[in-house]
Each structure stands twice: as C-alpha cells, then as structure tokens.
Amino acid sequence: MSRYDRRDIMMELIELSRDIKTEIMQQLNYYRASVYKSETALLVENRIQELQLVADLIGDDELQDVFRDYEALKRNGLLLATPGECLLSLRTMNLLQATDRIFADLISRHAASSPQDTLQFSRHIQKHRRQLLSLCRQGSRQWTFFSTL
C-alpha cells in the first residue's frame, strides 16, 4: 500500500464510482423502455448498493447523507413526485446528480490528512479489497490497481 497515497486511492474509487454510475444510467434507460420493470429496477437497485459500498469506503459524510436521502425518498417518494412521474428515475437521478457534485468537490479539495488518517484509510481499503475487486471488471485498470493494494 505504500506505493499509493490517499489521493491516488480516492481518485481510483471515484473513477470506479463513475463507471458504476454509467452502468446505472444504462440500466435506467433500459428500465424506461422495458416491459420488465421489476427485474430492471432490481438491477438498478443492486448497482446503487454497489455505488453505496464505494461511497462508504470513501468515507465522506456528505456522500453518506446523499444515500440516506435516497433511502428517505424511496420510502416517501410518493409525497414528492408529480402524478405520472417515475419514482425510480426521480430518486436515482437525484442521487447521481448529488454524487457528481460531491465527487467534483472531492477531486478539487486538496485537504491534507494526517498520517494517522491515511493509515486508517489504507487499512480500511485493504480490509474491503475483495469487495472492491468484485465491483471491478477483471483485468481492467481499476482491478489491477486494487489488486496490488
């Protein structure tokens, strides 16, 4: 783990998140046109859980709040949606837009972390390395990166 600093790992986690978000968008587009709504909605929800796992590993509080908001919208979405609006699309797009904004902020932030925080972050990533590898396509650049940690 000594070859990579916290920023390198964060950038790879954000890149993995973007790949997962692309897949969510593809599934969401398919959902809108599909007659297999429940199966496709389940695929979207599974991808969102994968995105949440990466967000948990990043450990940003604001990012965690976005996923709590997503769950609240899942429970209370009928109250906020206009008639005829797709609730899955509404809450998913809200989630993806908020994560885009937070990831852009994380990238632009250059806050120095203490060596103890960096060590704790490294241990946390190593502990969840298998889960990270399962999210990456085998043989991809990200898979190679996380397999070397």
Q: What is the mean pLDDT of the chain?
A: 85
Alpha helices in the chain (DSSP H): 6-33, 37-58, 61-80, 87-108, 115-127, 129-135, 141-147
Average pLDDT over residues 19-42: 92
Q: Which residue has the higher pLDDT, 11 or 77?
A: 11
- 0.95 cut: is pTM over it? no
High-pLDDT (> 90) share of the chain, %: 42
Q: Using only C-alpha atoms, what is the Rg of the chain? A: 17
| Residue 137 or residue 1, greater confidence | 137
Contact 85, 93 (CB under 8 A): no
Q: What is the pLDDT of residues 68-118, one digit of tens each?
A: 999 988 887 666 666 666 888 889 999 999 999 999 988 887 555 556 667
At residue 140, does pLDDT exceed 60? yes
Q: Which residues contact 16 (CB under 8 A, 6 or more apart)?
A: 54, 132, 135, 136, 142
- Amino acid (one-letter) located at 62: E
Query: Which range has highest mean pLDDT (3-7, 32-36, 112-116, 118-122)?
Result: 32-36
pLDDT tens for each residue of 49-65: 999 999 999 888 999 99
- Rounded to an integer, the average pLDDT of 20-24 is 96
> What is the pLDDT at residue 1?
43
Confidence of residue 47 (pLDDT cuts 50, 70, 90): very high
